[in-house]
Structure 1
Amino acid sequence: MTSWDIKPQGVQSQLKLTGERAGDLEKALNALMGHMSEAAYAAGTAVPGSAATVPNAARQGPVATGQVPLSHRGTMGPVGAALSQYLEKRQPDVKAMVDRIQAAVLGAAKATNEYIEGDLDAAKHAQDAAKNVRLDELRDATGGAK
């Protein structure tokens, strides 16, 4: 572990870039949720006339921030139900993606800070926690145990 050669300014610029890209990803995911929600609503139903306006609270997938849940818009048809189920199935993947990005950023920042302070064991611990997506360890670590 004594052979590290980290350039803190380079890490800082990469973390800033990663943060910007994570913001872009958040916008894209929120737009996806909004568009899928609109598509589900616009697809209509397989029921004739006014029967389609009865709320169906049983079918509701993830909803983007600021969007009205699908169940508050009226009955959902088969296309809307399929889109809702698709989003529900993808939600764990999205959460894992967010957690991995957060772990990578926190781990790199903590490892670099420990490197600057000269605590290479704490830096390795932060790197390992980030690699294993251990957000609890990264948030709670105080470091500086020289």
Structure 2
Amino acid sequence: MSGWRITPQGVEDVLKRVGATAAVLDAAVVGLPAKAEQAVAGTGQNPIIADALIGFFEHHATTLESIGNRINASVTGAAAATTAYVQGDEQMAAEHQAAAAQVAGTGQVRPRGARGPVVAQ
């Protein structure tokens, strides 16, 4: 790959799709306690099966919460990184425009990466 090809619109589209999918997952997780109660009730009050189901749901609750937290953190991080990328592009463009304006007005060019006085061409 010879360079970055990030477009804010492309990132926004991806983040919207991720958000929509995360909303479906969140709805399923929010409804999980009711489903767990139904599953336990469906055991015919068999304490061994009921305890196993309760243990299963309790054990995986933190994992499901962690998945949701990671999704949210990833979406937030991607949005922040894209904003920084765009701001960096805008800053570089402004610096190049200012340099071009200086050269156009004075005819003096500073070699790329050079520090110190400007040299006349």
| TM-score, normalised by the number of residues in structure 2 | 0.64
Q: Separation in 2 of the partners of 1:111 and 1:4?
A: 13
Quick one: which of 101, 105, 109 aligns to 2:71? 101
Q: Separation in 1 of the partners of 2:75 and 2:86?
A: 17
Partner of 1:58: none
Alignment of 1:71-90 (within 5 A): 77-90=47-60
Partner of 2:16: 16
**Deviation, structure 1 residue 85:** 0.4
Moved over 3 A (4+): none
- Where structure 1 has 5 or more consecutive residues not aligned to the other structure, the ranges are 47-76, 120-146
Q: Aligned to 1:118, what secondary structure does the other structure show?
A: helix
Q: Which amino acid aligns with 1:31?
A: G
What value does the CA root-mean-square deviation take over the aligned residues?
A: 2.0
Q: Whose RCO is larger (CA < 8 A, sep 6+)?
A: 2
> Are 1:40 and 2:10 counterparts?
no
| TM-score, normalised by the number of residues in structure 1 | 0.54
Q: Aligned to 2:82, what secondary structure does the other structure show?
A: helix
Percentage of pairs with the same residue: 34
Q: Could you say which structure has the larger radius of gyration?
A: 2
| Number of equivalent positions | 88
Alignment of 1:1-146 (within 5 A): 3-46=3-46, 77-118=47-88
Q: Separation in 1 of the partners of 2:26 and 2:37?
A: 16
Q: Which amino acid aligns with 1:115?
A: Y
Q: Which amino acid aligns with 1:114?
A: A
More helix by share: 2
